[in-house]
């Protein structure tokens, strides 16, 4: 007696957001290995049908800057359990891939976060793609909420720490004007994605870092030199360059919507990524938490220190996606590219995830007609959620 072949899964009833268009009246077929099998008008035999009842089916959101979530801050819990809690909290809001992000801290904490990221990858924690180390090699003048007492210079020990081999992706944010010549090149050649941020680098210094292999810019406009008529600054260099990516915190508070629109007009959609810069309240219950000894409060949908300094955000990727449409005037395909396709390309993972295409991972999010998250899939495994 023959054994029945494993069932394919057909996701039906939703408009499917592709890289360049929206498809209607077709089903997305998933195989048994967590991959996208095909788009089809006719369902194959031996197929489990999941009717999504309308709305949109999109590639899952990818967030490259996530400090915390579910009442957990990575700095306080640089462990695989801490990372697991953060990833689970953000999955409720459509994030199927993320890099837990460490805010500037002492070397032992950096090492612990990197080790925890590797453990999470090895354990297959859903959604974890690597780790983002934001600092501590930043400019004190542009420190934002970071603790400058934890800042340190880049030396050979730092480069060795940051280039420990990884099975995932590693982002490092630094101030390029304070790093010795060759630092960006050494990190980039080891596979690290180096981003500029919290920096006073001028246009020429930024261009020098780009020549060494700078891959991107952390939260464009925030904590960096601005675009002026005779001094283009880091923002000017970021918008001029065509090989890098930049994160945008689209909450209407970190950056004015007009500036967001200008960035897209100047650079084009290819370089823009939605990021949350999220803190523990996302997916949690806290309205206050402690960061480096400071009390941080959720105020008007963002997080602020005692003096009003922005301290990350309480933004979700689902809300950032909606804001990209509502504040920036993006259509759903463009917003999806900013939330999924472009981050995947930045991470050098676009052959694996970030779009809906046969052979790619079944990393997906379903939004109802109000654009609220109802379900996610990571490697084909479904989890229902009510946003």
Taking the CA atoms of the chain, what radius of gyration do you get in angstroms? 20
pLDDT reported for residue 6: 67
Asked if residue 64 has pLDDT above 50, the reply is yes
pLDDT reported for residue 286: 87
Please report, for the chain, the start and end positions of each structural domain, with discontinuous segments joined by +. 8-58+355-384, 60-346
Give the chain's mean pLDDT. 96
Contact predicate 67/314, CB 8 Å: no
User: Any idea which architecture 8-58+355-384 has in CATH?
Assistant: Roll (2.30)
Asked if residue 4 has pLDDT above 70, the reply is no
Contact predicate 314/307, CB 8 Å: no
Helix (H, G, I), strand (E, B) or coil at 330: coil
The binding site consists of 134, 145, 198, 219, 222-223, 230, 254, 310-312
Q: What is the mean pLDDT of residues 292-309?
A: 90
Asked if residue 14 has pLDDT above 90, the reply is yes
State how far the Cα of 252 lies from the Cα of 377, in Å rounded to an integer.
29
Asked if residue 107 has pLDDT above 70, the reply is yes
Burial (CB count <10 Å: 0-12, 13-18, 19+), residue 338: buried
Asked if residue 2 has pLDDT above 60, the reply is no
The four Cα atoms 243, 249, 251, 254 give a dihedral, to 10 degrees, of -110
Taking alpha carbons only, the member of 242, 209, 213, 243 closest to residue 224 is: 209
Asked if residue 319 has pLDDT above 80, the reply is yes
Helix, strand, coil share of the chain (percent; to 5): 30, 25, 45
Taking alpha carbons only, the member of 226, 230, 208, 215 closest to residue 170 is: 215
pLDDT reported for residue 39: 96
To the nearest whole percent, how much of the chain has pLDDT over 70?
A: 98
Catalytic residue ranges: 277
User: Any idea which architecture 60-346 has in CATH?
Assistant: Alpha-Beta Barrel (3.20)
State how far the Cα of 191 lies from the Cα of 173, in Å rounded to an integer.
14
Residue 279: left (phi > 0), alpha (psi -120 to 50), or beta? beta
List, for residues 362-385, the tens digit of each pLDDT value. Answer: 999 999 999 999 999 999 999 998
């Amino acid at each position: 007696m023959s054994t029945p072949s494993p069932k394919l899964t057909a996701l039906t009833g939703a408009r499917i957001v592709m890289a360049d268009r929206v498809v209607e009246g077709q089903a997305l077929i998933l195989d048994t290995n967590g991959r996208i099998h095909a788009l089809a008008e006719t369902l194959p035999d031996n197929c489990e049908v999941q009717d999504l009842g309308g709305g949109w089916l999109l590639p899952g959101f990818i967030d490259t800057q996530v400090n915390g979530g579910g009442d957990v801050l990575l700095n306080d819990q640089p462990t695989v359990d801490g990372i697991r809690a953060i990833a689970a909290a953000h999955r409720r809001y459509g994030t199927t891939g993320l890099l837990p992000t460490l805010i500037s801290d002492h070397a032992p904490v950096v090492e612990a976060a990197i080790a925890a990221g590797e453990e999470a990858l090895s354990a297959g924690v859903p959604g974890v793609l690597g780790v983002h180390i934001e600092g501590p090699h930043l400019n004190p003048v542009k420190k934002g909420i970071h603790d400058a007492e934890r800042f340190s210079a880049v030396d050979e020990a730092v480069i060795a720490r940051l280039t420990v081999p990884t099975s995932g992706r590693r982002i490092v944010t630094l101030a390029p004007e304070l790093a010795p010549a060759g630092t960006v090149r050494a990190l980039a050649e080891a596979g690290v994605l180096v981003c500029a941020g919290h920096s006073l680098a001028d246009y020429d210094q930024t261009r020098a870092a780009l020549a060494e292999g700078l891959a991107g810019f952390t939260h464009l406009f925030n904590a960096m030199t601005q675009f002026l008529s005779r001094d283009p600054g880091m923002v000017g260099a970021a918008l001029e360059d065509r090989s890098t990516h930049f994160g945008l915190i689209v909450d209407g508070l970190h950056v004015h919507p007009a500036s967001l629109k200008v960035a897209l007009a100047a650079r084009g959609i290819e370089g823009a990524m939605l990021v949350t810069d999220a803190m523990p309240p996302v997916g949690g219950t806290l309205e206050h938490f402690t960061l480096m000894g400071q009390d941080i409060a959720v105020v008007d949908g963002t997080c602020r220190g005692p003096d009003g300094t922005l301290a990350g955000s309480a933004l979700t990727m689902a809300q950032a996606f909606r804001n990209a449409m509502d504040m920036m005037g993006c259509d759903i395909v463009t917003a999806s590219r900013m939330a999924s396709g472009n981050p995947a390309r930045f991470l050098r993972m676009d052959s694996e995830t970030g779009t809906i295409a046969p052979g790619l991972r079944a990393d997906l999010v379903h939004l109802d007609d109000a654009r609220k998250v109802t379900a996610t899939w990571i490697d084909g495994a479904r989890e229902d959620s009510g946003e």
